[in-house]
Structure 1
Amino acid sequence: MLLEQHIQRVEEKVLLLLKKLQQEQADNALLKEQLQWHQQTMAQQQQAIESLEGKLQMAKIANVASGPPSTQEEDEDFKKEMRNKINDYIKEIDRCVALLNG
């Protein structure tokens, strides 16, 4: 009789552990879905930021290029912006050439 009670308690504990395991697995699956959603949202937001930064960069260049620089500082800023933009284009061209050769 004592052995049967002990076996029954062990079975109850095993069933309880299985139930907890199933709950943890369900929670884990939900958290994985939420993580994936947040990662996708973050990637979309990063793309939007990059797009807006590009537009801002082009607007700055267009603004400076639209008229003569009024100060030497603006002239230096314009030259710096243009150098950076040209360097970016050169890097992009180099990447394209590497892809074509690879």
Structure 2
Amino acid sequence: MELEQHIQRIEEKTHLLLKKLQQVQSDNELLHAEIDAKEQELSLAQKAIGNLEDKLKLARIASVTQGAPSAEDEEFKKEIRRKINDYIAEIDRCIAMLNS
């Protein structure tokens, strides 16, 4: 009789553990879905930031070409000139490679 009770308690505890395992697995799936959603939000936010940074650069270029330049604008102009010169040099190298 005592052995049967002991076996029954073990079965009850096993059943309880299985229920808890299912709950934890369910919670885990929900958390993974939430992580995926947050990663998508982060990706969209990063794209939006990139677009805004591009717009800011364009706005700075436009402001530099108009009006009286500030010291910061002069540094920005130098940076733009360096980039343009780099692009021109790269184009020249490509043309030279095509010609040879």
- Secondary structure at the counterpart of residue 12 of structure 1: helix
Listed as ranges, the gaps of 5+ residues in structure 1 are: 94-102
Partner of 2:45: 45
Q: Which amino acid aligns with 1:7?
A: I
Question: What is the 5 A alignment of 1:14-29?
Answer: 14-29=14-29
Partner of 1:59: 59
Could you say what the CA RMSD is over the residues aligned between the two structures, in angstroms? 2.4
Q: Which amino acid aligns with 2:33?
A: E
| Count of matched residue pairs | 88
Partner of 2:30: 30
Listed as ranges, the gaps of 5+ residues in structure 2 are: 91-100
Pair member with larger Rg: 2
Cα distance in 1 between the residues matched to 2:42 and 2:82: 27
Partner of 2:2: 2
Partner of 1:12: 12
Identity of aligned residues (%): 51
TM-aligned CA deviation for residue 83 of structure 1? 4.4
Q: Which has the higher contact order (CA 8 A, sep 6+)?
A: 1
TM-score of the aligned structures, taking structure 2 as reference length: 0.75
Cα distance in 1 between the residues matched to 2:4 and 2:82: 80
